[in-house]
Amino acid sequence: MLAENTNSSVNKEQIRGGWFNRFLSTVEWLGNLLPHPITLFACFSLFIILLSGILGYFEVSVPDPRPLDAAGRDPDGMIEVISLFSAEGLQRIVGGLVTNFTGFAPLGTVLVALLGVAVAEHSGLLSAAMRGLVLKAPARLVTFTLVFAGILSNTAAELGYVVLIPMAAMIFHSLGRHPLAGLAAAFAGVSGGYSANLFLGTIDPLLAGLTTEAAKMIDPEYAVGPEANYFFMFVSVFLIAILGAVITEKIVEPRLGKFDPSQAESNLEKTQMQALTSTERRGLRNAGLALLAVGLVLCITIIPQFGGVLLHPETGGLKGSPFLKGIVAFIFVSFAIPGFVYGKTVGCMKNDKDVINAMSQGMSTLGMYIVLVFFASQFVAFFNWTNLGTVLAVKGAALLTALGLDGPEVFVFFILMCAMVNLSLGSSSAQWAVTAPIFVPMLMLVGFAPEVIQAAYRIGDSVTNLITPMMSYFGLILAVASRYQKNLGIGTLVATMLPYSMIFFVGWTLLFYLWVFVLGMPVGPGAPTYYTP
């Protein structure tokens, strides 16, 4: 995993001048003042303990808005802040330290999903699929294909940044177009369209687990599955791909003008793109057949005529069925089996040992994530135990109602808020771990379902990835861009990406409003739009 904040070595002289560059410089400076996300969660946990002690001493409480027979509702109808700054609190903290971590919903689901993705990635299947998709695209569809491939590459987090974005610049260069336009198009898909995808990936169970933990503050039985936003994210792929292609060809590329080779590195022409070999093409074909076979088997499990063994045992439907509850297992096999078939075909995987090695290598990249989850799980648990999240949600919901912001328009402000927070806290999981315990209960009390709230968050979390220096791979993108334009500054790169960020925000928010509130479509299978406490 590449180190975060690689942009810190950027020459400060390159970002001076102009109000927008000064704004970005300020964002970078403020972001660098923040401690590491792991340290941040440790500090938040200590803060929750101290704050609960103060509010508990003053017996702060709010009326419980849930029905009288709701699970977890106190008989006196009040929600009180519970102090952890006490002997009982210390006992609970010490006793729950391990179970907070091992029982944290996103941990197991992400690990299981990544086992399958690791096989597909280390066999070369994902890289070959991306190259095959882009290099075979007709010239007039190259831009659209690059953005589209960038969005799909998010299934394996590093693939788009490390492979596709540099390759996109080379493709545009080979076509006589400005390489930075190709880089921008791929970057827009990989980072600006981060949450959208045609397939469920590791980000889906990760966010769903955090949303579930937050939703349980209001409804202890509520569960959000990895498939919760699948319909909306599927449709979003095409919106982002079309917008990304139009922005590239109508705004970004004309602004860049004609490429000047004298501004590029002297050895630039030595870089060659690798076309798919006949063996790789055969591997892709076999992997595709394997994926089709896996898909057919999964379909059979939910067809009543074939027994519907994974349908809901009582209702016979998909909602709440073992199929949806076990969707992470299907993510695993849908990547692992085609990945092994591809590896077997091209000769890089011969037996079970190679598969196990691939899984082990995939797990080895998660050291930082596991440490982050440990501290994040403590923060979320403390927030739940103290009732601070619920109290804050009740107060916030009352404020929204008083301001008249209890309708769909509240999501415009929510998405904008998430986009602004993302400028300084670039990690998707870290940001949602902090904000979900506050806003999921708050918006649930206003009347919106957690699945819809999560979908809105994913828009804000994606669109400003393109313009924040705090995004983990921003320094890498700057380094690749500098190969084609020496002395390229961070301000130039951000100015190039700003049209994508702005138009994605407007277009994606409009799509969300139309999809959810005008057309009345669910954001995912069985996902409700509204919630009644």
pLDDT in tens, 134-160: 777 777 888 999 999 889 887 765 667
Residue carrying structure tokens 């079970």 = 352
Query: Could you tell me what percent of the chain has a pLDDT over 70?
Result: 87
201 contacts 515 by C-beta, under 8 angstroms? no
So what's the pLDDT on residue 266?
Answer: 59
- Mean pLDDT of the region 32-43: 76
187 contacts 172 by C-beta, under 8 angstroms? no
Length of the chain as a residue count:
533
Tokens of 29: 């400076």
So what's the pLDDT on residue 270?
Answer: 43
So what's the pLDDT on residue 15?
Answer: 40
So what's the pLDDT on residue 117?
Answer: 82
pLDDT digits (tens, 9 = 90+) for 94-103: 999 999 999 8
How far is it, in rounded angstroms, from Cα 150 to Cα 139? 17
Question: What three-state secondary structure class fits 63?
Answer: strand
pLDDT digits (tens, 9 = 90+) for 404-452: 778 899 999 999 988 888 876 656 777 788 788 889 999 999 999 999 9
State the alpha helices, DSSP H only, in 125-187: 125-135, 142-152, 157-159, 165-174, 179-187
* 133-142, 371-380, 513-522, range with the lowest pLDDT: 133-142
How far, in whole angstroms, is CA 135 from its chain's centroid? 27
Rounded to a whole number of angstroms, the CA Rg of the chain reads 24
Confidence of residue 8 (pLDDT cuts 50, 70, 90): very low
pLDDT digits (tens, 9 = 90+) for 481-505: 888 887 777 777 888 898 999 999 9
So what's the pLDDT on residue 267?
Answer: 58
How far, in whole angstroms, is CA 125 from its chain's centroid? 22
Alpha-carbon dihedral sign for residues 54, 59, 65, 69: positive
pLDDT greater than 80 at residue 37:
no
Burial zone of 36 (CB within 10 Å; 0-12 exposed, 13-18 middle, 19+ buried): middle
How far is it, in rounded angstroms, from Cα 246 to Cα 507? 12
So what's the pLDDT on residue 342?
Answer: 96
pLDDT digits (tens, 9 = 90+) for 303-342: 887 778 888 888 777 777 888 778 788 889 998 999 999 9
Question: What three-state secondary structure class fits 165?
Answer: helix
441 contacts 218 by C-beta, under 8 angstroms? yes
pTM value > 0.85:
no
pLDDT greater than 60 at residue 17:
no
pLDDT greater than 70 at residue 519:
yes
**Residue type present at position 532:** T
Averaged pLDDT of the chain: 83
HSE-CB for 97 with a 13 A CA cutoff: 7
Query: Could you tell me what percent of the chain has a pLDDT over 90?
Result: 37
So what's the pLDDT on residue 395?
Answer: 83
- Comparing 395 with 72, which gets the higher pLDDT? 395
514 contacts 239 by C-beta, under 8 angstroms? no
So what's the pLDDT on residue 159?
Answer: 66
- Comparing 46 with 22, which gets the higher pLDDT? 46
Tokens of 78: 């009040």
- Comparing 424 with 371, which gets the higher pLDDT? 371
How far is it, in rounded angstroms, from Cα 436 to Cα 379? 12
